[in-house]
Amino acid sequence: MTALTELKEILYEVNDLNMAQNVLGWDQSTNMPVGGALDRSYQLGTLAKLAHQQFTSDQVGELLQRSQAETAGLDETSDDASLVRVAGKQYSRARKVSAKWIEKFVQVTSNAQTVWEKAKQEADFPLFQPHLSEIFELRKEYSSFFQPYEHIYDPLLDEFEPGLKTAEVQRIFNDIRPHQIKLISAIQQAEPVRDDFLYLNYAKDAQWQFGMNVIKKFGFDFEHGRQDISVHPFTTNFGLGDVRITTRIDENYLPTALFGSMHEAGHAMYEQNISPSLRRTLLCGGASMAIHESQSRLWENMVGRSAMFWQHFYPALVKLFPSQLGNVDLRTFYRGINYVKPGMIRVEADEATYNLHIMLRMEIEIAVLEGKIAVKDLPAVWNEKMKSYLGIVPSNDAEGVLQDVHWSGGMMGYFPTYALGNIVSAQVWEKLNSENPNLMDQISKGEFKLMLTWLADRIYQHGSKFEPKQIIRNISGGDLQAAPYIHYLENKYQDIYNL
């Protein structure tokens, strides 16, 4: 048996342990009774510890060295060479973190998620505060394992966006912020568009079925996936053959479930179209969260909020909800679903204001990690920043500091990837359209096979074989650039608001 074969056998088992964690995590968010939280935290902690111990063993280190020699003559883009390269990087990183720390972190965050759900429901931040304080302390400790670093946030950001530094993200955000503020200002001075029809009563069952039909048309494979309901929409997978998404339904606001399903389907179709040759390996997943997010935002916004998309789907929606939409023409509906108005909830934010939500969160995370803000003061700080960035103040903590699930999961460093995903999506969209001039015509007919095939060929099938920056270069011919995204936003909203 070669070293590479032996290494793969171990990595397969590590993957199986990680997928088992995903199963338990999905169940916790969709079906588990509240009383199961403590037991579930122990189960998840044990699985995480076992996976970490097995992956960071001396045996894996030895096999990696021998496998590097065995694959030295292979094309660096081959599956085997890529696996050894990526596994080597992940191994070096994982060895800096103890299995004991991993076990504790998973236990703490698993328990915290259930507390967060209750705290959000009751708008009770003090209930969640001690759990969040412990999580921030654990994340500070995690960063300390990677000293020296340029910034305490760097190790956390690198976990979700490999190779990217805090200073680089701040530079990109500083580049796009004035353009977005200028666009929002121009829109606020323009004649408002209607969106009142979106706030009528829409039956849950009908919303659910319409959303299911849309994502099936997109190409979400229901033989290898399913959709359920959760407090906060998410995507998870138990392997190539089982990719799960969730959505949430608001009977009094139509876009919540529909665009939530589109968004998560974008994530899921990425996972469903990874090459079978990468099954059970470290390469069987997205290249980074920004690349992943670029796909969810592309399907949700550039397709789902486009005028061409609704040429095909709007008649069916009107037929489903005649009393709500029967007197709303297509142009009015299209403008309504792209209504720009600073709002409290990030996941329901329009494209023009969305990135400001992300910048706010990143600033808060950095300030807490640097010791400039105490966790107990987060509600007040959050409200101050909402007023500064968006000119509005939450009426309670459920629509303020408690609205996102991410902190309960210890995902500090994750939020920037949402805005970065927006930027990447525009670069991908630009190239996709230039190479497929009939794309919008196909979308207007409800046909998405060509689009999904192109994305699978260029991005999805490769899993995490390539670094995020390389994927962007392979598609656009250059590095991450804000210009295509700014251009996309300005063109879209100049039309919608007659600027």
Handedness of CA 310, 312, 314, 317 (dihedral sign): negative
Whether 264 is catalytic is yes
Please state, in angstroms and rounded to a whole number, the distance separating the CA atoms of residues 183 and 122. Answer: 36
Burial degree of 371 (CB within 10 A; 0-12, 13-18, 19+): exposed
Pairing of β 235-237 and β 243-247? antiparallel
Please state, in angstroms and rounded to a whole number, the distance separating the CA atoms of residues 160 and 249. Answer: 28
Q: Catalytic one among 161, 264, 300, 365? A: 264
Q: Specify the long-range contacts of residues 88-97, CB closer than 8 Å, at least 24 apart.
A: 88/64, 89/162, 90/55, 90/282, 91/55, 91/56, 91/60, 91/61, 91/64, 93/146, 94/52, 94/55, 94/56, 95/56, 95/61, 96/145, 96/146, 97/52, 97/142, 97/145
Burial degree of 229 (CB within 10 A; 0-12, 13-18, 19+): middle
Q: Which residues of 405-416 are buried (b: 16+ CB within 10 A; e: fewer)?
A: bbbbbbbbbbbb
Please state, in angstroms and rounded to a whole number, the distance separating the CA atoms of residues 93 and 162. Answer: 11
Looking at residue 236, the DSSP 8-state letter turns out to be E
Could you tell me if 101 and 141 are in contact, meaning their C-beta atoms sit under 8 angstroms apart?
A: yes
Tokens describing residue 117: 């759900």
Residues recognised as catalytic: 264
